[in-house]
Structure 1
């Protein structure tokens, strides 16, 4: 019987926003995994515990949800005027691949702190008390993100009284600015329209706002697919027909957005685009039992990530929501009451979130200038993660 000894790799397990992930410095990875490719993907899959046909990730660091099956690699900046490069890998739970096609906005809140703690930020720029501005190059989508990290006595402040729905305990507030958040290259609205008619086999013709901001996202009206926008996870995730419907919508929307050339390719691109459904404000009870009143919010939004309804809201999708709300005539803007908006408070399964964005018309095209939101982050554990050495072969 062969025996493959375990190797240990320096790592930090962090919560960022409503997500958790394993953070690495590029230089700490095994040499074969320091470059993109199969060795890196195999290492990260084994770290997280995928692929797992049981969909539990018992033999890894993952938590068997899209929010907890994540990895981050930080490295020296490749762009002038930045402190660090941030690369995000969304690890599939039951399939053997890592999706590198987009960012994680929630974990972005932890990137600034990790960059400071890992020596990427010049010590002279870290105040004794105050805010340290960390300039992040998001390598997946090639965009700049600014994290405003609180510092106390020269160290990252993690505890505080900022409460974030979807996170049990309060922590220090971290303001995140997503600069020029249109995702990747090309138009913010890839079809050229703020609303399109999307034909989906077995579903029908749906109104859809398809936007590249934060992360490619397809917004549809809840009412058109038989929902109210107040649904919690079990109402969607416990319904295989509903999940299949959303995946079909996602695949056909991805083709329409030019992200893939055929619907069959969607299976290998689980992380992007996202699908979300919106509705005007309404009273509901969040997953924690908190009463959310219609007067507390501007719009209801529910979003799916990696094939399941998210327990709160993905940070990148929150950027898409903020940006779409700022553009008159989108489905998000209309559900929020229409008109000109620079911020919006939306209701999600775990509660509410306020986000802001600025967008302007440049000729016939809309351009997003910035989107902002507050999150929190903290280290859960640091040291080494161990994996069998045969997973580097």
Structure 2
């Protein structure tokens, strides 16, 4: 069977990995894009052995980059796609906070921005079409004008340091529903197991935050124990589906089942001592909150970047489920929030608006690097 070749590059950004395509290299018929994405990742197999995915939600990702059009300051626009694992799904409803850093590196590597001679870093702005928001970043560069890879910034979830890329999302609230809190700061969701008080926050990606103590959890549980708890995972999915409908993201429960990427759901715990998946001990005084999130039906190995953005913001906005667990001081201007996740502590910078009612900016320091570039081969007979 003849194969179609499509130019692409693979980047790691934060703790995610994705295939980057330029829109100009894809077929003009967008109806063929989904087939190409699923074949490239191998959405059909849980192992994704026949494609470039890694069998996990954070390695089953696609980015399509296009030239910026009539958007001041912006050097490029991009769209993120989450690809299914053993399930033929292409979902662009949400976005990926980790791969944002890789988009900045891609912009530099591919010449979407010019790098003045002698500069050690460059500021740029990209536009994310999934949430309709601009993302500002500072990307370190080499003397040859490429994105810098080597550095001394070690982020949780990786074993080796890299060059620090600072990412800030501007006015991140309401990208999907039009408001930061589509169901006020807290709301009640009814399930077969009872009624749960949650916060549904639409910040970067819509998330549902539920206090873990309501489910009998204390924050010391390991990922594999949580994922193996079928009753817990079913209940979290039930809460997620009910929240999707209540927030207006889906009209019915059945419709919500077809969109597994949003809203995502996360358990929040007060600061507590716990052991990471790497065996390190995190002390309660090292974090402002502890959290575990579900991604594509499993407890996430670390924590999605978009979830870190959302949780940090919700922690600083009074009246939310996460905020009610927060014992720190809420200050004006930029503030660092420390989130304890399964493999360490992420420091998120966030600032709220002057009236204290919404989030102004939120961001992370990440690392990114190009892993390869070349041709991705797709069975032509499988392109619909």
Place the TM-score, normalised by the shorter chain, in its bin.
over 0.9
Counterpart of 2:167 in structure 1 is: 176
Superposed CA deviations along residues 173-198 of structure 1, whole A, max 9, x for unmatched, are 1100011111235210001x212222
> In 2, are the aligned partners of 1:328 and 1:340 still within 8 Å (CA)?
no
Q: Which residue of 2 aligns with 1:47?
A: 40
Aligned equivalent of 1:136: 126
Taking the aligned partners of 2:339 and 2:221, their CA distance within structure 1 comes to 14
The equivalent of 1:161 in structure 2 is 152
CA distance in 2, matches of 1:354, 1:391: 43
Q: Where does 1:261-300 land on structure 2 (aligned, <5 Å)?
A: 261-300=251-290
Aligned to 1:5: 2
SS of 2:358's equivalent?
A: strand
Tell me the equivalent position of 1:252.
242
Match of 1:349 in 2: 342
Query: 1:84 aligned to 2:81?
Result: no
Gap regions ≥5 residues in structure 2? none
The CA distance in 1 between the partners of 2:233 and 2:86, in whole Å, is 16
Partner of 1:210: 200
Give the deviation of 1:390 after TM superposition: 1.4
Distance 1:275 1:203 in 2: 17
| Cα displacement string for residues 316-373 of structure 1 (whole angstroms, at most 9, x for unaligned residues) | 11110111011022121221226525331010001000112122376xx932210021
* TM-score for the superposition, normalised by structure 2: 0.95
In the alignment, does 2:64 pair up with 1:73?
Answer: yes
Secondary structure, aligned partner of 1:177: strand
**Distance of 2:4 and 2:178 partners within structure 1:** 42
Cα distance in 2 for residues equivalent to 1:174 and 1:95: 33
**1:152 match: secondary structure:** coil
- Work out the CA distance in 1 between the residues paired with 2:358 and 2:318: 13
Cα RMSD after superposing both structures:
1.6
Distance in 2 (CA, whole Å) between partners of 1:107 and 1:126 is 25
Aligned to 1:311: 301
User: Aligned equivalents of 2:357 and 2:296: distance in 1?
Assistant: 28
Whole-angstrom distance in 1 between the partners of 2:134 and 2:163: 22
Return the offset for 1:302. 0.8
* Cα distance change, pair 80–129 in 1 and its aligned pair in 2 (3 A): closer
- Comparing 209-218 with 177-186, greater Cα deviation is found at 177-186
User: Alignment length, in residue pairs?
Assistant: 378
- 1:301-340 aligned within 5 A: 301-337=291-327, 340=330
Q: In structure 2, what is the Cα distance between the partners aligned to 1:225 and 1:20?
A: 32
Q: CA 1:389 to 1:259, structure 2 compared with 1: closer, same or farther past 3 Å? A: same
| Contact 1:231-1:302 within 8 A present in 2 as well | no
Cross-structure match for 1:376: 367
- 8 Å contact 1:329–1:338 — kept in the other structure? no
Distance (Å, rounded) in 2 between the aligned partners of 1:86 and 1:126: 24
Partners of 1:82 and 1:137 within 8 A in 2? yes
Q: Which residue of 2 aligns with 1:26?
A: 23
Q: Does structure 1 residue 235 correspond to structure 2 residue 225?
A: yes
> Structure 2 CA distance, aligned partners of 1:218 and 1:44?
28
Listed one character per residue, the Cα deviations across residues 281-335 of structure 1 (whole Å, up to 9, x for unaligned) are: 1111111111111111111011111111111110111110111011022121221
Partners in 2 of 1:370 and 1:326 — Cα distance?
Answer: 12
**1:358 match: secondary structure:** strand
Whether contact under 8 Å (1:127, 1:151) holds in the other structure is no
Show CA shifts across 1:211-270 (max 9, x none).
100110000101001211233320122222222111111000111111011111122101
Which runs of 4 or more aligned residues in structure 1 lie more than 6 Å from their structure 2 counterparts after TM superposition? none
Instruction: Output the TM-score relative to the length of structure 1.
Output: 0.93
Q: Report matched runs for 1:182-221 at 5 Å.
A: 182=173, 183-191=175-183, 193-199=184-190, 201-221=191-211
Q: Deviations over 1:50-106 (max 9, x none)?
A: 122xx1111011111111110001110122321000100000112222001011000
Is the contact between residue 187 and residue 198 of structure 2 (CA under 8 Å) also seen in structure 1?
A: yes
